[in-house]
Structure 1
């Protein structure tokens, strides 16, 4: 019956049972009104939580257990509701195919192709799951000997936030997929440490041509050098570089002239 208990927990969290009881005990009808759930079906859900030790029922009033009050009701500190939402909405459905995966030795193709809502659920769920590890790493390693941190596949930036919170002199860079970065930007904007997590810069130095593909003159001439010695090389225009940057999630900032015909295109991680 473990899968039933898990699903009961997911639903109770999703409909707001623990959150609505954060301010104190409620009778069934009051809790039903607060959550917008019919009393009959809410009783089924709430009584299941009582049997699992996450709610208590005293004098016909439901109240959060100590664990639910600490981790599922929105209290300051670790909030496990995003993790439950991730397990329910994204992870749980895939486990229906466990037998097929075991028999065939293949996982679920395309799992990480999220839409915007699913990406939010995934990223915040993983952050909630890994929050204890982020705090432990920030405390357990002396980051004070460093000046900059690059967090590759760093999710929403929760590890960087935990580390920078303890080390005021550090700056960090988060390197992630574009969809995750969209969630991370919103997350970092809410934290003072977010101002110290700067975007990576990309500098492309070449004889970048203008739109006419004739200026600077050395650039089209050099195309012959590439043709002769490389076979498939050529000179490129600035607008071609702009397209590459857009396709690979970089945001162009500017192009600056250097010495002679060379110039540098400066881009920032989008």
Structure 2
């Protein structure tokens, strides 16, 4: 079928509608209610305490884009895509759908024009505080964000373990490691390794359940603190997954310098980050960069920009290993 530029652009313009529809379906846990098989829109309305006709209209729209499958009699079942919205999915994305459709996130993107015209962080301008302070003051949003980061870590961990050989390390510290899923997966793959999980105290408070569930709690220390002040010393490797992209260069350099002070000369720094591709390629990373602009206030970077960042913080970039949508970027002290 011949592409129509006008209609293709219209699909892009109206993409916000799909985002919000998926957000609502995830918030109502529709996928969980369909995990045992097909149900009617009426049954789902009762289970989700929703208006029957309105819920049907939501579900048929999402079925038209492949999230659900509509059958006769207004019955719906999960598709492989919709299965990712289940809370117990092995490839979960539901919490991220809830984050991006939540009012604070949604309103921030509505101020993209301000950021583009001024270079200022939209969230800070809109709320008078940064997104980290906001989530700390609104634990319901913070909990959903932490759950989303844990879910997103699953695929990232598997790809990183396939791409990079962690076997030479005896002790690895996951700096800004959230609730510990990434570190747990690495420890599961390397039974002789010890780990330390380091993040804000309120974040790592939820980590022990995940580490116990994965059976690695006996090999893992959990430490709370700020990576702007100090990180634990003495590990063979210091890992940060999608941490540095949350910060502009001055803050990123400050974080990396704290890590450098804690590291032995033989240790390695491992960043799991996206890399900005050449022009006209990989839109996901470039739109993630816009998200950094409006929300946390950071940026996605090219390989060259990471190399410059390392040079200003006491490191030298050594190797880059593609790992799915991310890369394992290895650096060493210099």
TM-score normalized with structure 1 length: 0.69
Q: Bigger CA drift: 71-80 or 25-34?
A: 71-80
CA–CA distance in structure 2, aligned partners of residues 105 and 143 of structure 1: 39
CA–CA distance in structure 2, aligned partners of residues 144 and 170 of structure 1: 8
CA contact (8 A) 1:119 1:179 kept: no
Return the match for 1:155 from 171, 178, 201. 178
Correspondence 1:44 to 2:57: yes
Distance 1:25 1:200, change over 3 A: closer
Q: Which has the higher contact order (CA 8 A, sep 6+)?
A: 2
Q: How many residues align?
A: 201
The equivalent of 2:92 in structure 1 is: 79
Correspondence 1:62 to 2:76: yes
Larger Rg: 1
Q: Which runs of 5+ in 2 are unaligned?
A: 1-13, 125-129, 225-229, 231-334
Deviation string 1:171-228 (CA, Å, 9 cap, x unpaired) is: 10011112222233343343311332114599xxxxxxxxxxxxxxxxxxxxxxxxxx
CA–CA distance in structure 1, aligned partners of residues 169 and 36 of structure 2: 44
- Equivalent runs, 1:107-186 vs 2, <5 Å: 107=121, 108-109=123-124, 110-113=130-133, 114=135, 115-186=138-209
Correspondence 1:15 to 2:35: no
Deviation at 1:75, TM superposition (A): 4.8
CA–CA distance in structure 2, aligned partners of residues 100 and 185 of structure 1: 41
Q: Which runs of 5+ in 1 are unaligned?
A: 203-270
Runs of 4+ residues over 3 Å off in structure 1: 199-202
CA RMSD in angstroms comes to 2.0
TM-score normalized with structure 2 length: 0.56
